[in-house]
Structure 1
Amino acid sequence: MNIGFYLLPKSEVKYLNPESTIRQALEKMSYHKYTSVPLVDEDGKYSGTLTEGDLLWKLKDDMDKEEDYEEVIQRTRLKDVPRRVQNIPISINANMEDLITLATDQNFIPITDDDGHFIGIIRRRDIIKYCASVIWENKQTN
Structure 2
Amino acid sequence: MNVAFFLTPKTDVVYLNINSTMRQALEKMEFHRYTAVPLIDDGGRYVGTLTEGDLLWKIKSLNTLDFNKTNDVLVKNIPRRVKNKPVSINSDIGSLISLAKDQNFVPVVDDQGIFIGIIKRSDIITYCQNMVYKNN
1:70 Cα offset (Å):
3.0
Pairing 1:42-57 to 2, within 5 Å after superposition: 42-57=42-57
**TM norm structure 1:** 0.88
- Pick from 86, 96, 116 the counterpart of residue 83 of structure 2: 86
- Paired AA for residue 90 in structure 2: N
Q: Bigger shift: 70-79 or 35-44?
A: 70-79
- Paired AA for residue 27 in structure 1: E
- Pick from 114, 123, 126 the counterpart of residue 126 of structure 1: 123
Q: 1:115 to 1:59 in 2, by over 3 A?
A: same
**In the alignment, which residue of structure 2 is the partner of 1:26?**
26
Fraction of identical pairs, as percent: 54
Consecutive aligned runs of 4 or more in structure 1 exceeding 3 Å deviation = 133-137
Q: 1:126 to 1:71 in 2, by over 3 A?
A: same
The structure having more radius of gyration, on CA atoms, is 1
| CA offsets 1:36-78 (integer angstroms, 9 cap, x no match) | 0000111010010000000001101222xxx462343010000
Q: Is the 8 A contact 1:18 1:41 kept in 2?
A: yes
Structure 2 residues without counterparts, runs of 5 or longer: none
Please state if 1:73 is matched with 2:70: yes
Residues in 1 aligned to 2:55 and 2:95: alpha-carbon distance in whole angstroms: 29
Structure 1 residues without counterparts, runs of 5 or longer: none
| CA offsets 1:66-93 (integer angstroms, 9 cap, x no match) | x462343010000000001110000001
**TM norm structure 2:** 0.92
